[in-house]
């Protein structure tokens, strides 16, 4: 990996798996490591935490719900470094009754400055696999299909949202796991993008992981979202995303799949 730079996209930035990923990359990656957050104060606080540990992260403000913010950040990395070598997308949160998901176009904008032979790691969740297994057989077949398109995926996710609004989602073949379904969508999108990149850029090794086009599952980690009874610490949860981010140049696997406990499960 050349012209070292790493961009981490996640919320919240000052704790949990995201902070642990930045910490590990600062220790293991020989280059500039950037963390991003929509909230300037949180981002600066995260930098202070890691600086106090003797690490040297950099900060770039970024709101992944704002196209102009994404475009501005992408332009900064292109102009400053010629692009990014590693992108870890750790944006996500579990809502009690609703969920925000990344639209494919948003993710493509985030990926825009990634260089050839770069890495993209989408932090997904084993909850995505669980939710998928609770979907109807019809939905399972489509999500797992190798010919599913971005447009079809968007349609499926929008269908889920609309059915939940009327309380008809279970009858329609969806589970109650809103967060899980959002991660099903993220993992599926990562695989779609992996297949697309393999076809359009066969000589580039841009790996996405749910951990795009590759997927990573950190497991059940002790965070504000997952609770304090989870068996893994944030540092332990960062192991798989960091492993995928630091795959050696020329590595062809894993690619376009979902890893959990270092095992391909989807």
34 is catalytic: no
7 strand-pairing partners? 34, 87
**Is residue 118 within 8 Å of 126, Cβ to Cβ?**
no
Query: Rounded to whole angstroms, how far apart are CA atoms 210 and 214?
Result: 5
- DSSP E strands in the chain: the ranges are 5-11, 32-37, 58-61, 84-91, 114-123, 207-210, 215-217, 258-260, 263-264
Task: Pick the closest to residue 161 from 150, 149, 147, 172 (CA basis).
Answer: 172
**Annotated active-site residue in 34, 81, 179, 243:** 179
Q: Which of 49, 75, 74 is nearest to 64 (CA)?
A: 74
How far apart CA 52 and CA 41 sit, in angstroms, is: 17
The residues annotated with a catalytic role in the active site are: 179
């Amino acid at each position: 990996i050349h012209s070292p730079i790493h961009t981490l996209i996640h919320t919240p930035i000052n704790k949990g798996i995201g902070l642990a990923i930045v910490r590990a990359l600062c220790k293991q990656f020989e280059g500039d490591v950037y963390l991003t957050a929509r909230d300037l104060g949180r981002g600066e606080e995260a930098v202070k935490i890691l600086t106090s540990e003797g690490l040297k992260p950099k900060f770039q403000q970024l709101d992944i719900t704002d196209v102009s913010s994404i475009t501005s950040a992408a332009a900064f990395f292109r102009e400053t470094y010629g692009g990014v070598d590693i992108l870890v997308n750790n944006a996500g949160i579990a809502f009690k009754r609703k969920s925000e998901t990344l639209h494919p176009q948003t993710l493509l904008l985030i990926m825009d400055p990634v260089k050839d032979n770069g890495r993209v790691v989408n932090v997904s969740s084993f909850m995505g696999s669980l939710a998928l297994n609770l979907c109807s057989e019809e939905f399972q077949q489509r999500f797992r299909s190798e010919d599913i398109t971005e447009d079809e995926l968007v349609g499926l996710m929008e269908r889920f949202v609309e059915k939940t609004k009327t309380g008809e989602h279970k009858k329609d073949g969806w589970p109650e796991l809103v967060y899980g379904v959002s991660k099903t969508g993220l993992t599926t999108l990562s695989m779609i993008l992996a297949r697309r990149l393999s076809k359009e850029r066969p000589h580039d090794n841009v790996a996405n992981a749910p951990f795009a086009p590759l997927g990573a599952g950190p497991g059940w980690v002790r965070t504000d979202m997952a609770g304090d009874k989870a068996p893994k610490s944030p540092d332990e949860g960062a192991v798989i995303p960091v492993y995928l981010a630091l795959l050696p140049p020329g590595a062809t696997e894993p690619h376009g799949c979902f890893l959990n406990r270092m095992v391909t499960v989807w």
